[in-house]
Structure 1
Amino acid sequence: MQRAAEQGFGWVSIARIGLVQACLGAQVMLITTVLNRLMVVEFALAAAIPAGLVTWHYAVQLSRPLFGHGSDKGGNRTAWMIGGIVLLAGAGLLATQATLMLSTDFTLGMILAVIAYTLIGAGVGACGTSALALLASSVAPHRRAAAAATTWIMMIAGIVISAITVGELIKPFSPERLTMVTIGLAVTCIAVTIAATYRLETGHHVFEETAKSGEAPDFKEAIREIMTDPTARRFTIFIFVAMLAYNMQDLILEPFAGLVFGMEPGDSTKLGGMLNAGSLLGMIVAGIGGSAFQSRLPSDLRIWIVGGCMGSGVSLAGLAAAALAGSGWPLTANVMLLGFCNGVFAVAAIGSMMGLAGAGEKTREGVRMGVWGAAQAIGFGLGGLMGAVGVDMARTAYGSDGYAFQMVFAVEGALFVVAAGLAMQATRKTPAQYRKAVEA
């Protein structure tokens, strides 16, 4: 077993995939922050327009299983990763031009924007699914939690670094300057991805829970196997519910801080930063703890998933109480605790996902990661939309900001508790896994 682990991806190879994830995050940052602001502030469009486009790019990611299956059949995940980044970078350029066009020709600009965001969703699906599938098949089981933490942290670092850099380079703002910066970002991400993936798949060991022979099954057969596998089906439901809960506060946390606590825009932005800081800390703790104190089975990360989900539920109960308590509540500490628990659960869930990805009798890692990636994307998109719409509806119904936010945070916390129960079922050890653990 030790010899097999040495043949798998080491930390340098894991970091190289992390660089790909960082490029992915940098490109997505462009559409979720820079272009979103331009549409709402500079061009005075309804906020629903960029929100709808971002939600659409999540919906397109229902195609993730197809991309994963393609990388399974082709046996060259690197090509799918590079192709996905190239498509994403090109779509980012198109989305930028479409956004700039909205002020002069709204109809044509919107048509191009829909096309661009469709391609963005496809690029994210092709690259992200293949990267995670390669991690799942090439990282020794006892390293998976730390590998998930490393690549996720690097993705967030890519978002942060690119946001700061792009923000500085587009000053003073002009359409021409934005176009040049977008081109530079695209070229940089493509070049880094090509360099990071060069000969990455050469001579590595493949770790799978189940021995497979022959070619990967066709797409329909692969999906049928996943949907009839109780563990895979339960894990799919868990991922959807957990991501639904994970993102419900994303669009309402800063409005909550402003409306209920009277925070200025700068202070509420710092509060969002504390949420991300807590998430990074949680990811580091789960990454180190999940690798150092657990063994080799996906179910060994159960305590970290359940603990993260339950902790998130408790933190959201605190925010629900804060909605009525007001300024006396330790809001910053509460939000940082929520971020910490979110980070713990997210890394442990991805680590378990990588372990379960190789457990199919015939299916390969790509299509399984694609199914779970699709569930994640839809849960993520719907979660943000539900949180925002829920607050609007509750404010209208109750006539009170505090009660409205309390209701949404309470629902989100309850979803995390449900997710914890689903995780208990989805990550149970099978008799075969128990025998394997004893033999090891």
Structure 2
Amino acid sequence: MQTRSLGWFGIFRLGLVQAALGAIVVLTTSTLNRIMVVELNLAAMVPGALVGLHYGVQIARPLWGHGSDKGGRRTPWIIGGIALLALGGLGAAMATSLMVDNFTVGLLLAIFDFILIGIGVGAAGTSLLALLASTVSPERRPAAATLVWLMMILGIAVTSVISGKFLDPFSMSRLIAVAGVTGLVAVALTMVAVAGVEKSGVARATEPAVHAVSFRHSLADTWADPQARLFTIFVFVSMMAYSMQDLILEPFAGMIFGMTPGATTQLSGLQNGGVFCGMVLVGVAGSLLAGRIPAILKYFTVGGCLLSAAALAGLAASASAGPGWPLTANVFVLGFSNGIFAVAAIGSMMALAGAAGPSKIGLRMGLWGAAQAVAFGLGGFAGTVAVDLMRAVSDSIAIAYGSVFLLEGLIFLAAAAIALRIASVRASRVPANGMHRSPRRRGLQAAE
């Protein structure tokens, strides 16, 4: 049965869900982390473990994606996931406040809430991307993925700036109020965004499910694809590098540069603003040089990783330089370079997701989502543990943070090497006009 694909307005509406998701996540992974470390004087590995837990839960993303392939209605998964995320975000803020008087009870509540956050992010995010890939025409998938990702970054940046203003002068009651209002707005925005999308005449996400095979067989088939496997490794390594500074940047700015909670939250927003600008740059370059998409993806993926490594070297230097260092510019460049490589990976992800047929889109998106989530969890926790260990060994805050930033830069260099290997494999196996070949070869060409 032939039905019309989702139009640009529908894609924009679904992008609002990503903006809502990012709005809640930035408070739980950035602001609460800084408050636990600086205001509560906890070891950095405490929030690091909590954030790692919420990423660890998302290892079930491939299973959720496969269930979405077979199950039919993705809208309830999306709304339910955002609702759980909002509830977990509010609970995590309350748990942080409770830690002041009773650390054990507060920590136990925080563990429960971060599990809810992980389930919410995984269920909503995987189902949303599967819905996009199932209802957007193949030629629009890369652009649609970029638009939706940019809206998530925009949601993070806007929330960071606005919430940062309302958090100062800081108090726990303000923190809880900001978390609660953010969650309510996110749920309302999500309900408006997805209303009627699956009933509007676009291709139903359930139609490919008739031909779906077992989860185990689908997962084995995906992992047997060399490009899909190598791309999974690239996602893991690059996102490990991306996330190592996520939980230490705000505490670093507070300890070395004396920034307030509101100021460091706005610094996080500036970083995500840089990510947004980097993605826009690649999108514009791809539109202007549409005939050279493979080369564009290769150059920006590798170049973005290398520039990220350079920006991290700058942060390492700033640890010793102190307040005189142009920290805001350095952080913006880091975000900008992260956005450059990320948008190239998004284009590859959407193409590869559809390479094996529509009945496996959800599983592939879930696999790469799981690789990203596990990398974020391990990377964030590893960054906090490394800081704590280096502080114990060197008794120097500057050396501790600077060393971790340098390690993160080295991992970005490894990610660049993997990206070059993907490009090399593609060059040896895919002809110049590979975009017009079979679905599998279209996926190979996009995997720059």
- Does residue 203 (structure 1) correspond to residue 193 (structure 2)? The answer is no
Letter in 2 for 1:18: G
Q: CA deviation at 1:433?
A: 8.6
In structure 2, the partner of 1:385 is 381
Partner residue of 1:409 out of 405, 408, 412: 405
Partner of 2:258: 264
**1:220-262 CA distance string (max 9 Å, x none):** 1111112211111111110000001112223344565677xx6
Percent same amino acid at aligned positions? 50
Residue 348 (structure 2) pairs with residue 352 (structure 1): yes
2:185 aligned residue: 188
Please say if 1:25 is aligned against 2:22. Answer: yes
- State how far apart, in whole Å, the 2-side matches of 1:140 and 1:377 are: 27
Structure 2 Cα separation of the partners of residues 325 and 185 of structure 1: 36
- How much is the aligned-residue C-alpha RMSD, in angstroms? 3.8
Aligned residue for 2:257, secondary structure, equals: coil
How far residue 198 of structure 1 moved from its aligned partner, in angstroms, is: 1.6
- 1:218 to partner: Cα distance: 1.6
Structure 2: which 5+ residue stretches go unaligned? 443-448
CA separation of 1:131 and 1:47: change in aligned 2, threshold 3 A = same
Q: Which amino acid aligns with 1:437?
A: H
* CA gap 1:158/1:256 in 2 versus in 1, 3 angstroms: closer
Structure 1 residues 408 and 78: alpha-carbon distance in aligned structure 2, compared to 1, 3 A threshold: same
**CA–CA distance in 2 between the matches of 1:180 and 1:334?**
32
Partner of 1:64: 61
| Amino acid corresponding to residue 122 of structure 2 in structure 1 | G
Rounded Cα–Cα distance in structure 2 between residues aligned with 1:149 and 1:227 = 25
Q: Which amino acid aligns with 1:304?
A: F
Letter in 1 for 2:56: A
- SS of 2:211's equivalent in the other structure is coil
User: Could you tell me which of 222, 226, 234 is aligned with 2:218?
Assistant: 222
- C-alpha change, 1:318 and 1:66, in structure 2 (3 Å) is same
Q: Does the 8 Å CA contact 1:146/1:286 hold for their aligned counterparts?
A: no
C-alpha deviation, 1:353, in angstroms: 0.7
Deviations 1:396-419 (A, max 9, x none): 545666655554333322222221
Partner residue, 1:133: 130
Matching residue of 1:437: 436
| Shift of residue 25, structure 1, vs aligned partner | 1.4
For 1:88, the equivalent position in structure 2 comes to: 85
Other-structure match for 1:342? 338
Distance across 2 between alignment mates of 1:146 and 1:87: 29
Aligned residues between the structures: 431
Q: CA–CA distance in 2 between the matches of 1:313 and 1:187?
A: 38
Q: 2:289 aligns with which of 293, 303, 306?
A: 293
- Using the size of structure 1 for normalisation, the TM-score is 0.82
Kindly indicate whether residue 378 of structure 2 is the aligned counterpart of residue 368 of structure 1: no
Match of 2:446 in 1: none
- Distance of 1:72 and 1:298 partners within structure 2: 29
CA shift for structure 1 position 185: 3.5
Per the alignment, residue 245 of structure 1 pairs with 241
Relative to structure 1, is the Cα distance of residues 161 and 300 closer, same or farther in structure 2, using a 3 angstrom cutoff? closer
SS at match of 2:420: helix
Question: Structure 2 CA distance, aligned partners of 1:171 and 1:408?
Answer: 29
User: What amino acid is the match of 1:193?
Assistant: T
1:306 paired with 2:302, answer yes
Query: Does the CA-based 8 Å contact 1:145-1:291 persist in structure 2?
Result: no
Q: CA 1:145–1:284 in structure 2 vs 1: closer, same or farther (change >3 Å)?
A: farther
Tell me the residue number matched to 2:445. Answer: none
**What is the DSSP-based 3-state SS (H/G/I as helix, E as strand, rest coil) of the residue aligned with 1:364?**
helix
1:393 Cα deviation from its structure 2 partner: 3.3
The structure-2 alpha-carbon separation of the partners of 1:143 and 1:315, relative to structure 1 and needing over 3 Å to count, comes to: farther
Contact in 1 for aligned 2:66/2:363 (Cα 8 Å): yes
* Corresponding position of 1:277: 273
Residues 290 and 304, structure 1, Cα contact 8 Å, conserved in 2: no
Compute the TM-score of the two structures, normalised by the length of structure 2: 0.81
Counterpart contact for 1:8–1:206, Cα < 8 Å:
no
Quick one: distance in 2 between partners of 1:400 and 1:169? 33
Deviation at 1:301, TM superposition (A): 2.6
**Inter-partner Cα distance in structure 2 for 1:38 and 1:328:** 24
CA contact (8 A) 1:146 1:290 kept: no
| 1:131 partner amino acid | L
CA shift digits 1:95-138 (9 cap, x unpaired): 34444444555444433322221111011000011112222333
User: 1:24 offset after TM fit, Å?
Assistant: 0.8
TM superposition shift of 1:423: 2.1
Contact 2:48 2:247 in 1 (8 A): no
The gaps in structure 1 that reach 5 residues or longer are none
Q: Secondary structure at the match of 1:203?
A: coil
